[in-house]
């Protein structure tokens, strides 16, 4: 069984996003932190981080390990600390994310923490805007649909979204199946698009991944909420690409149909982003709660 000190060091690296930041948090030298990490990797027989000038990027094994041990390590630390364990959580945390994911998954998962006195304020918006607010210290945590590549921002992979191309059944039946199999872009070109943003971030990614080019289709509507997009698609206004968890109930009910079935469904990773460096206990509490719930959700 791995040494607890090594697990605590691993957790600090994972949360802080770099070995140097973890060393500062733990009050250790960077060589000591490196040594503990190497010993842990040797014990587990797997690499936990990919190191670069930008920091330490966690592997899938690291994310799984952090989700399993994070809250337990914190509970152990709390048991060794005198006083009311919940006092440190009675403060405000500013959280940012897209409206749909926050409403359907992330905020309900945090509801039990309010019993400990937690005060969460939420900012909804697009990933780039939210990451800028995080960088400027206006937010503490951001659930981002794009991987942050900004100095001083660490990112933990949280969960993968599977995307589906859907339309109302009547509109889906207007697609020629023979042409779709041989030349999909022209087969789909008559379908109006219902997009999340003007640059078609989700739709463009799907078309390029599956068909090798941008969609030539006209845009019928731009709505920055995936739940609203689904409602418009159900009403027959056009076609869109949605995470499966958003479209699942409508697909089961038959109010939308899958227009195209890829061999391998396109995925997008949701990242939990935070500023590198020592985190407040309350921020760590939220981060670990979301990582723990992500193990239950599986792929969205």
> 161-266: which CATH number, 3.60.70.12, 3.40.50.10070, 3.40.190.10, 3.40.710.10?
3.40.190.10
CATH code that applies to domain 92-160+268-295: 3.40.190.10
Q: Where in the chain is the domain with CATH 3.40.190.10?
A: 92-160+268-295, 161-266
Residues of the chain with CATH 1.10.10.10: 4-81
Coil, helix or strand at residue 274:
strand
DSSP letter at 86? T
State the Rg of the chain over Cα: 22
The Cα–Cα gap between 204 and 105 comes to 25
Whole-number pLDDT of residue 299 = 47
**80: pLDDT strictly greater than 70:** no
Given this model, what pLDDT does residue 84 score?
46
pTM to 2 decimals? 0.66
Paired residues of 195 in beta bridges: 222
Given the DSSP bridges, would you call strands 141-144 and 92-97 parallel, antiparallel or unpaired?
parallel
pLDDT of residue 133: 92
What is the pLDDT averaged over residues 21-42? 85
Task: Give tens-digit pLDDT for 90-118.
Answer: 778 899 999 988 998 899 999 888 877 78
Is-contact 261 68, C-beta < 8 A? no
- Among residues 204, 222, 223, 224, the alpha carbon closest in space to that of 214 is found at 204
Mean pLDDT of 114-124: 86
Encode pLDDT of 230-240 as tens digits.
999 999 999 99
- pLDDT tier at 298 (50, 70, 90 boundaries)? low
**40-68, pLDDT tens digit by residue?**
988 889 899 888 776 788 888 888 888 77
Whether the CB-CB separation of 163 and 267 falls below 8 Å is answered with yes
- Paired with 56 in beta bridges are 51
What is the domain class of 4-81 according to CATH? mainly alpha
Strand partners, 166: 240, 258
């Amino acid at each position: 069984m791995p040494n607890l000190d090594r697990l605590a060091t691993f957790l600090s690296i994972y949360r802080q996003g770099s070995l140097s930041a973890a060393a500062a948090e733990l009050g250790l030298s960077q060589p000591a932190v490196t040594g503990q990490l190497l010993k842990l990797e040797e014990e587990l027989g797997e690499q936990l981080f990919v190191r670069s000038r930008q920091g330490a990027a966690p592997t899938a094994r690291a994310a799984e390990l952090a989700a399993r041990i994070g809250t337990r390590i914190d509970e152990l630390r709390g048991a060794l600390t005198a006083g009311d364990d919940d006092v440190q959580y009675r403060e405000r945390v500013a959280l940012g994310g897209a409206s749909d994911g926050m409403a359907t998954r992330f905020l309900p998962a945090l509801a039990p923490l309010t019993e400990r006195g937690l005060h969460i304020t939420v900012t909804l918006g697009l990933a780039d805007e939210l990451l800028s607010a995080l960088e400027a210290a206006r937010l503490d945590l951001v659930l981002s649909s794009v991987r942050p590549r900004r100095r001083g921002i660490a990112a933990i992979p949280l969960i993968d979204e599977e995307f589906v191309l859907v339309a109302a059944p009547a509109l889906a039946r207007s697609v020629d199946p023979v042409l779709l199999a041989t030349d999909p872009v022209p087969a789909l070109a008559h379908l109006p698009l219902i997009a999340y943003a003007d640059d078609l971030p989700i739709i463009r990614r799907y078309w390029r991944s599956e068909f090798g080019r941008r969609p030539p289709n006209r845009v019928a509507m731009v709505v920055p909420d995936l739940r609203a997009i689904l409602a418009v698609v159900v009403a027959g206004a056009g076609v869109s690409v949605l995470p499966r968890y958003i479209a699942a109930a409508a697909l089961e009910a038959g109010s939308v149909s899958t227009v195209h079935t890829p061999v391998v469904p396109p995925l997008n990773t949701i990242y939990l982003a935070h500023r590198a460096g020592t985190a407040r206990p309350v921020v760590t509490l939220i981060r670990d709660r979301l990582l723990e719930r992500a193990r239950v959700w599986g792929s969205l």
